[in-house]
Amino acid sequence: MPVLNEARYLERAVETVLQQEVPGPTELVLALGPSSDGTTELAQRLARRDERITLVENPGADIPLGLNLAIRASRAPTVVRVDAHSELSAGYTMRALETLAETRAANVGGVMRADGRTPFQRAVARAYNSPIGLGGGAYHGGTQAGEAESAYLGVMRRDVLEEVGLFDESIRRGEDWELNLRIRAAGYRVWFDPSLSVTYWPRESWTRLARQFRATGAWRGELVRRFGRRNSLRFFAPPALVVVLALAIVVGILQIAHVLTGWWAVAASVVYLPLVAYALLVLAVAIGPGGGKGWRDRLWTLAVIPTMHLSWGFGFLVGVLRGAHDTVDTSRLGSRNTPLP
């Protein structure tokens, strides 16, 4: 479990891991980044309470670095990746081990079930759980078990991980997709099991959400530069939205300035149609079944979905054009004044 500024979530995440029933010895390795909110001190207290917890330093803070440090510090033949912002469901590990054996897969993942405690966080969770929000990947609500492109978090065979070279430490976001690409290229299966579920707690503020998605989009753009057509077409929808929106703004300005007039203005207005369709789609998600606990949830949904798509799409275009380089997810950086829960 890579950990950075997770004082609000770490104890519960650790608790759900240690409660897993497994026929054999288990260990939990926390790769601690340079947190500023008391997370490191909390992790140290948790480690003193339970000898199954091991702490390793991750001064670079990047997730792939932390994952590799934790894997190298562990001993078990099966590696269960866990997010400090998540909670494993009861029986998760046992079921994953059974699926690994039954399917002879190298990596097994399940469903990410996003949840929230505030109107904003619930709106983000609603977007995560909707096919409209994150593009309909299997782990965002799939119901059919089978071979998959990637796996959320993942329960992995150590021997295969070591064979393919662990996580690529040059990739700061999308490292799981790239790892699974190498696993499949080596001739192994990646398997989706919808009976596995993990509760995920999204970012708690609008600005953090936008920063997270911009960084994620930039690294997807980098992955497109590196791996081209092996990336799914669904990754190109958000940047297409950004391009259409930019064109619509230009056309609108030209129409207002009477540079575009007559039939030219009418023909150019076609650019507005995809945006109208998109707005209606977002509205349908916001007011549809499961839209939230009240009007504030629904209003936040109207804001959250475009924020996710436009931030991701803008980041993607930057990543494709110039590469991700040193782009980091600054939404994980906290304040030194952030109190413990």
Query: Could you give the CA distance from residue 232 to residue 222 in angstroms, rounded to a whole number?
Result: 14
Structure tokens at 332: 């994980």
Strand pairing of 190-200 and 86-88?
antiparallel
The model's pTM is: 0.89
Task: Sort 336 into a burial class: Cβ within 10 Å, 0-12 / 13-18 / 19+.
Answer: exposed
pLDDT surpassing 60 at residue 145: yes
For 159-201, give the DSSP string.
Answer: HHHHHHTSS-TT-SSSHHHHHHHHHHHTT--EEEEEEEEEEE-
Quote the pLDDT of residue 229.
85
Look at residue 293 and tell me whether its pLDDT is greater than 90.
Answer: no
Long-range CB contacts (< 8 A, 24+ apart) of 131-138?
A: 132/281, 132/282, 132/285, 132/305, 133/285, 133/305, 133/308, 134/308, 135/234, 135/235, 135/237, 136/234, 137/234, 138/192, 138/194
Per cent of the chain over pLDDT 70 is 94
Alpha-carbon distances, residue 255 vs 177, 243, 263, 276 (angstroms): 43, 18, 11, 18
Interval 12-18 mean pLDDT: 96
Instruction: For residue 306, count other CB atoms closer than 10 A to its CB.
Output: 15
C-beta of residue 191 within 8 angstroms of C-beta of residue 138: no
Instruction: Please determine, for residue 153, whether its predicted confidence score (pLDDT) is greater than 60.
Output: yes
What tokens appear for 199 in the block?
Answer: 């509760």
Q: Crossing angle of helices 272-287/295-322, nearest 10°?
A: 140
pLDDT, position 339: 37
Give the per-residue pLDDT at 290.
67
pLDDT score of 292:
63
Residue 142 carries which DSSP code? -
Closest CA to 149 of 176, 171, 173: 176
Q: Which residues contact 29 (CB under 8 A, 6 or more apart)?
A: 1, 53, 54, 55, 56, 70, 71, 73, 74
92-124 pLDDT, tens digit per residue, is: 999 999 999 999 999 999 999 999 999 999 999
CB atoms under 10 Å from CB of 104, counted, come to 10
Q: How many CB atoms lie within 10 A of CB 312?
A: 28
Q: What is the pLDDT of residue 141?
A: 64
What integer is the mean pLDDT of 190-215? 94
DSSP 240-301: HHHHHHHHHHHHHHHHHTTSS-HHHHHHHGGGHHHHHHHHHHHHHHHHSTT--SSHHHHHHH
- Strands in 53-57's sheet, in edge-to-edge order, are 2-3, 28-32, 53-57
- Find the helix or strand (DSSP H, E) in which 155 lies: strand 155-157
